[in-house]
Amino acid sequence: METQENHSDVILIGAGIMSATLGTFLKKLEPSWKIKIFERMDKVTAESSEAWNNAGTGHSAFCELNYTTEEDDGSINIDKAIKIAESFEVSKEFWSSLTEEGIIEDPLKMIRRIPHMSFVWGDKNTEFLRKRYEAMRQHHLFSDMQFSDDYEHIKSWIPLIMEGRDASQPLAATRMDIGTDVNFGSLSRCMFDYLKNSEGVELKLHHEVEDIKRLKDGNWELEIKDLDSGKEQKYTANFVFIGAGGGSLPLLEKADVPEGRGYGGFPISGKWLVCNKQELIDKHYAKVYGKASVGSPPMSVPHLDTRMIDGKKALLFGPYAGFSTKFLKHGSYLDLPSSIKWNNIWPLISAGVHNIPLTKYLIEQVTQSPEDRLEALQEYLPEAQLEDWELMDAGQRVQVIKKDEEEGGVLEFGTEVVYTQDGSLATLLGASPGASTSVSIMLGLLKKCFPGLEASAKWKKELSELIPSYGKSLAKDADLLYKTRERTSKVLGLKGEEVNVLA
Alpha-carbon gap, residue 417 to 437, rounded angstroms: 13
Say whether residue 17 binds ligand FAD (CB under 6 A).
yes
Q: Which is nearer to ligand FAD, 126 or 325 (CB)?
A: 325
Say whether residue 10 binds ligand FAD (CB under 6 A).
no
Contact (CB, 8 A) for 57 and 307? no
Phi, psi of 303 (to 5 degrees): -145, 145
Candidate list 395, 402, 418, 485; residue touching ligand FAD; CB under 6 A: 395
Alpha-carbon gap, residue 322 to 311, rounded angstroms: 29
CB of 41 to ligand FAD, least distance (A): 5
CB of 80 to ligand FAD, least distance (A): 15
Contact (CB, 8 A) for 429 and 398? yes
Say whether residue 428 binds ligand FAD (CB under 6 A).
yes
CB of 39 to ligand FAD, least distance (A): 5
Alpha-carbon gap, residue 245 to 51, rounded angstroms: 15
Which residues, 6 or more positions from 468, have their beta carbon under 8 angstroms from its beta carbon?
A: 93, 484, 487
Contact (CB, 8 A) for 374 and 383? no
Contact (CB, 8 A) for 386 and 347? no
Candidate list 10, 11, 12, 13; residue touching ligand FAD; CB under 6 A: 13
The total number of residues written for the chain in this structure: 503
Q: Which of residues 257-286 bind ligand FAD (CB under 6 A)?
A: 270
User: For ligand FAD, which stretch binds (CB under 6 A), given 123-131, 147-155, 334-342, 431-439?
Assistant: 431-439
Say whether residue 255 binds ligand FAD (CB under 6 A).
no
Q: Which of residues 295-334 bind ligand FAD (CB under 6 A)?
A: 319, 328
Q: Which is nearer to ligand FAD, 20 or 463 (CB)?
A: 20
Alpha-carbon gap, residue 50 to 354, rounded angstroms: 33
CB of 185 to ligand FAD, least distance (A): 8
Q: Which is nearer to ligand FAD, 30 or 253 (CB)?
A: 253
Nearest of 366, 421, 198, 379 to residue 288 by alpha carbon: 379
Which residues, 6 or more positions from 6, have their beta carbon under 8 angstroms from its beta carbon?
A: 233, 234, 235, 236
Contact (CB, 8 A) for 224 and 6? no
Say how many C-beta atoms besides its own lie within 10 A of residue 350's C-beta: 20
Q: How many residues make contact with ligand FAD (CB under 6 A)?
A: 42
Candidate list 25, 38, 285, 380; residue touching ligand FAD; CB under 6 A: 38
Q: Which is nearer to ligand FAD, 48 or 344 (CB)?
A: 48
Handedness of CA 33, 38, 44, 46 (dihedral sign): negative
Number of alpha helices (DSSP H) and beta strands (DSSP E) in the chain: 16, 21
Candidate list 249, 358, 435, 441; residue touching ligand FAD; CB under 6 A: 435
User: For ligand FAD, which stretch binds (CB under 6 A), given 47-55, 167-175, 273-281, 479-487?
Assistant: 47-55
CB of 114 to ligand FAD, least distance (A): 12
Say whether residue 418 binds ligand FAD (CB under 6 A).
no
Candidate list 12, 16, 26, 190; residue touching ligand FAD; CB under 6 A: 16
CB of 272 to ligand FAD, least distance (A): 8
Phi, psi of 339 (to 5 degrees): -85, -10
Q: Report the Cα–Cα distance between both ends of the chain, in Å, rounded.
A: 60
**Given the rule CB under 6 A, which residues bind ligand FAD?**
13-19, 38-41, 45-49, 53-57, 59, 184, 208-209, 243-245, 247, 251, 270, 319, 328, 394-395, 397, 428, 431, 433-436
